[in-house]
Amino acid sequence: MDSSQFREAAHSAIEEIANYYDDLPNLPVLSSVTPGYLRPLLPDGPPQEGEAWTDIQKDIERVIKPGLTHWQSPNFMAFFPANSSYPGMLGEMYSAAFNAPAFNWICSPAITELETVVMDWVAKMIALPECYLSKGEGGGIIQGTASEVVLTAVVAARERILRRRLAHMEEGEEKLDKMAEMRGKLVAMGSEHAHSSTQKAAVIAGTRFRTVAAPKEDGFRVTGASLRKTIEECKKKGLEPFYFTATLGTTATCAVDDFQGLAEVVKDYPDIWIHVDAAYAGSALVCPEYQHLTPVLEHFDSFNFNMHKWLFTNFDCSCFFIKKRKDLIETYSITPSYLRNTFSDSGLVTDYRDWQIPLGRRFRSLKVWFVLRSYGVKGLQALIRKHIGLGEYFHSLIASRKDIFTVLTGPDFALTTFTVNPPKPRGVSETAADQPDPAHESYTNDFMADAEGQYRENANQVTKEVYEKVNSKGEIFISSSVVCGIYMIRIVSANILAEKKYLKRAFEILVEAAEEVVKAKGGEQK
């Protein structure tokens, strides 16, 4: 493909992509294919002779689109959004054109320096404390995902505590043996509702992992007291807690941990690395009404959020901010002769390979630069506030049908979670409270002493059936979760095409499904 053919193919591809986005509201949000659908549609191997782009492009429609889940559809209300935007796409195009592994400054100075600048822009935009800016001891780096960031932080935290505790020892075999012994006693911690990436990172780092309780009565958030208790329990067993993932917007409910309480704990345990995972909800910090959450972050070691979730920057783009960049550099800086150069040796440039696990990296700052300049801070604030308003609207719909649904949490950062009320046997009298009276004969009998437990089991079963019925119809796509033994449905509508009419229709679908499930069970809705 020469430059002339590229121009023609690119024009055709862009036209097809633009048409795809225009048609998104009319497409089924979920694919209807079955596992293994693709292999029979493709040859057993690659062609021996090159094919024309027109023939290749036809297969996008024929074999790829049928297997897509349309994350940009306004009917996609599951998980958290993974937003795309035209400026972000343009950034990806230029990044591909300027293709370079960018492991150090000399690879392409613009790749490194633009990243430093735009990460400072982002830090200021979301009101991070100054300690996270590059002008001091900190700075920002773009990584792939929040999970990758957590692993990077866990390994750096592991090595930091080893350096601190064994600084008195001379380098050699004895110190290496002591480090290996200590690693076996190190404990990484995370909320029982934190993302699973912390546990996975502990496995990869070869350390232990402990969950920190975040019960319903505490709003599903970790308090300082809860973290302190876990630390003390570990120390009584001769273990050494060294890392904790605090969360700003948990995956299940968007709960925010007790940052002030955690900051008090840090004063007594300064060797514990506190990383704040704000993968989804961190984008809301562009709005001043959420920036009261940021001042306390100066007491922690690192912070991360994904612009590829709620800030309209194509996947992947995870913004990782570190308070002391030397904590990363002292862990990840290994310089063989083939990576040495005058600029790196001078110490006057940033080599982001020393801030991360991989060596190479993509030119991701271009799409951030394009998005920030295209929307502007006010444009991004307007979109976030629109989605917050849509979340409040949907919450009001769910709350209006207390006979069918019980709101569990929200609306928090546009997310509402709720359960479906289990049916009660015909003839059982109503109670004044929203929740069923555990004294109802339907939950107390000779075979079931735990009335609340039986109610929860029934509610979980009904909620799960409604969830599965809704997704099986394919008009909308939603997700569920289990928190503290409660099976719940979670709805968040936060992509660029989101509107009230789609949430209203989602509510109608949920009501229809709930009524069908209750009727099938031969009961009445509470």
The string of pLDDT tens digits covering residues 211-237 is: 999 999 999 999 999 999 999 999 999
Q: CATH for 3-68?
A: 1.20.1340.10
Could you tell me the residue ranges of all domains in the chain?
3-68, 99-362, 375-524
Q: How far lies 492's CA from each of 66, 377, 500, in Å?
A: 24, 23, 12
The string of pLDDT tens digits covering residues 482-494 is: 998 899 999 999 9
Q: Is the pLDDT of residue 430 over 70?
A: no
The region that residue 460 occupies, defined by phi over 0 for left and psi between -120 and 50 for alpha, beta otherwise, is alpha
- Can you state the percent helix, strand and coil of the chain, rounding each to 5? 50, 15, 35
Tell the CATH topology of 375-524.
Aspartate Aminotransferase, domain 1 (3.90.1150)
pLDDT class of 447 with cuts at 50, 70, 90:
very low
Q: How many residues does the chain have?
A: 526
Instruction: Determine the Cα–Cα distance for residues 519 and 512; give it in Å rounded to an integer.
Output: 11
For the segment 435-449, the average pLDDT, to the nearest whole number, is: 48
The percent of residues above 70 in pLDDT, for the chain, comes to 91
Q: How far lies 324's CA from each of 5, 83, 293, in Å?
A: 49, 31, 21
Strands (E) located in 105-239: 139-143, 186-191, 208-212
Q: Is the pLDDT of residue 410 over 70?
A: yes
Which one is the CATH code of 99-362: 3.40.50.2000, 3.30.750.24, 3.40.640.10, 3.40.50.10300?
A: 3.40.640.10
